[in-house]
Structure 1
Amino acid sequence: QNKKLKDVEISFPIVYGTISFWLGKKASEYNSHKWTVYIRSATNEDLSVIVKRVVFQLHPSFTNPTRVVEQPPFELSESGWGEFEIAITLYFHSDVCEKRLDLFHQLKLYPEEDAGPQSTKKPVVVETYDEVVFPEPTEAFFLRVQNHPAATVPRLPPGMTLSSPGPMELMSHDKKRFDTKDHSLSQWFSNFSEADELLKLAAARQQVQAHIAKLRRQLSMIEGMPQQSRVI
């Protein structure tokens, strides 16, 4: 079960970020917003299959700024008035990865100018998409996540076979998963599907091409203008 699978990679698309709500009439000078920082699967599935615990490092002005979350959902909620960088550290199960993963997220409370005024109903959402890749996974890890909807698991190379799953792997499939699809904030989560990402890339490419074409037209106009000589 601890045997490493050569030439195999398992990846998990993840999202980390914050959702901030303005308190409106209840806001005070030092308590203007309520916010939640979190790490989730990009498809809103259970991440505890790989994550053992998450440590959130808040601003030193908070009481007990180092917060440890050992069960899903991997998040914490607080309130305050200032924006600051939050350090998010992921610790994985021993058969997944011995290294930790350090992430950093800038808490944002106030909307951009073009987004309109603050509202108690529409939060400020800032999320970052990433993918965690685990090369050469153990057999136990592979067996546990091979049918997990949040995992990207490749086919095994030809000729490679696995041992029969042990009791732990069988138990993990029967265990009820925490699913963030039922999360109270899920309506504000961004959709990071592959199709959406491709559409965004296509739109960005069109904008770049249009800008290049505009610059070329301006350059050709400049080159076509008669040169003026300065008489001193």
Structure 2
Amino acid sequence: MAHSDIQVTFEFGHKSIIKSKTTPEGFTHDWEVYVRGADGADISHFVEKVVFYLHATFQKPKRVIKEPPFSVKESGYAGFNLLIDIYFKTKDEPKKFKHSYDLDLQTSGPMVVRSRREKYIFTNPSGDFRKKLIRGGGALKIPPVLDG
């Protein structure tokens, strides 16, 4: 079989809103952080689970989400950087993808929604995993043809 890569696009993002009143714990914001497929792609075809590593001050800072939506909703008082591990439904390497996300919270104003897209290329995935990637929105990435 010819060498071919599959490219998938993840969307990492968050929503945050300032609470009308600070809680007794000092929480000023409600927020949600998420990982999803770009343009509505259903990444659950090839994603086994997503692990969000929240700041150590949260109860149960390691959050394992095994089905969509791959998101965590919480309340807090400050932004922080968190690590996100995306585990794939494959026995081949790579079995997971690590991502760092900056959960920044606004200081005033209405709800904020931020997101960014990240492309990830799977190099010559196995036939079964290739099908899962394509069902989940992956696209064939054809290498450039060199003249010569």
TM category, shorter: 0.7 to 0.9
SS at match of 1:48: helix
Any unmatched runs of 5+ in structure 1?
112-116, 156-232
Residue 47 (structure 2) pairs with residue 56 (structure 1) = no
TM-score between both structures, scaled by the size of structure 2: 0.85
What does residue 130 of structure 1 align with? 118
More relative contact order, 1 or 2 (CA 8 Å, 6+ apart): 2
The aligned length equals: 141
1:67-216 alignment, distance < 5 Å = 67-95=63-91, 97-110=93-106, 117-119=108-110, 123-146=111-134, 148=135, 150-153=137-140
TM-superposed deviation, 1:97: 4.2
Q: 1:144 to 1:137 in 2, by over 3 A?
A: same
- Rounded Cα–Cα distance in structure 2 between residues aligned with 1:14 and 1:96: 20
Which of these two proteins has the greater Rg computed from alpha carbons?
1
What does residue 145 of structure 2 align with? none
Give the letter aligned to residue 51 of structure 2. V
- Rounded Cα–Cα distance in structure 2 between residues aligned with 1:102 and 1:19: 21
Q: 1:99 to 1:140 in 2, by over 3 A?
A: closer
Q: 1:135 to 1:19 in 2, by over 3 A?
A: same
Aligned residues with identical type, % of pairs: 29
Give the letter aligned to residue 112 of structure 2. V
Give the letter aligned to residue 116 of structure 2. T
- Rounded Cα–Cα distance in structure 2 between residues aligned with 1:125 and 1:131: 20
Give the letter aligned to residue 118 of structure 1. G
- Rounded Cα–Cα distance in structure 2 between residues aligned with 1:145 and 1:90: 14
TM-superposed deviation, 1:149: 6.4
- Rounded Cα–Cα distance in structure 2 between residues aligned with 1:149 and 1:47: 5
TM-score between both structures, scaled by the size of structure 1: 0.56
Return the structure number with greater strand share: 2
What does residue 62 of structure 2 align with? 66
Q: List structure 1 runs of 4+ shifted beyond 4 angstroms.
A: none
- Rounded Cα–Cα distance in structure 1 between residues aligned with 2:92 and 2:114: 28
Return the structure number with greater helix share: 1
